Copies of this chain bind each other. A is one copy, B any other.
Amino acid sequence: MNRLYHYPLSPFSRKVRLSLAEKRIEVELVEERFWEQDADFLRRNPAGKVPVLKMGNRLMAESSAICEYLEETHPTPSLLPSDADGRYEVRRLVAWFDDKFNSEVTNKLMGERVFRKIMGTGYPDSANVKAGSKAIKYHLDYMHWLLDQRRWLAGNELSLADFAAAAHLSCLDYVSDVDWNRSVIVKDWYAKIKSRPAFRSILADQISGFPQPSHYSDLDF
């Protein structure tokens, strides 16, 4: 049985969960309190991060490298276009969300409001929370601009870029940090993603100490 060591509110774990589910690759989920840097966990991944995917005897880390591997070994349904230009655009946007959005928004909001509490590293830094709340607006506007020209974020087909974005936004939505009223276009995009079977396991996530808000799993949010 394949196994994914993950943390429910890790966007990088969620991106891999979405890829696996979309490709109907069955996997047992094992929750990993990665910040405790348990010796067994560090043996599985010396980088000390989630997700880690175990397929057969193979242990794999780094979410984007895993997603590319899944794409190459399980190409149907495809999450990357077949042409180099299209593939570039998907990879650019995956990096946009996993690097820029993550450092400007996810780390600032989730990092301060959720992970400090879970990890026991003190009170939220309000300057970071404020900066994250401001930055998410620009990112939602950028998504609006993209989705105004395309059916999905990187083009007319669903791709890894949509899963990367939805992975971050769904974590933030769990703590009610997304203003869905900012753009009808972005809200419609998220409603489409949310209603996919691949998203079900993510909508069922429960994090102790953080009760799931009612809109989170509601398809008519």
Contact = CB atoms under 8 A, between A and B. Distances in A.
Interface of A: 46-47, 49, 58, 60-62, 64-66, 68-69, 72-73, 84-85, 87-88, 91-92, 94-96, 99-100, 142
A91 B62 contact: yes
Given A64-B95, A142-B46, A88 B69 contact: yes
A84 B64 contact: no
A60 B142 contact: no
Nearest to A49: B100
B88 A60 contact: yes
A108 B60 CA distance: 27
Contacts of A60: 88, 92
Given A47-B100, A100-B47, A142-B46, A69 B95 contact: no
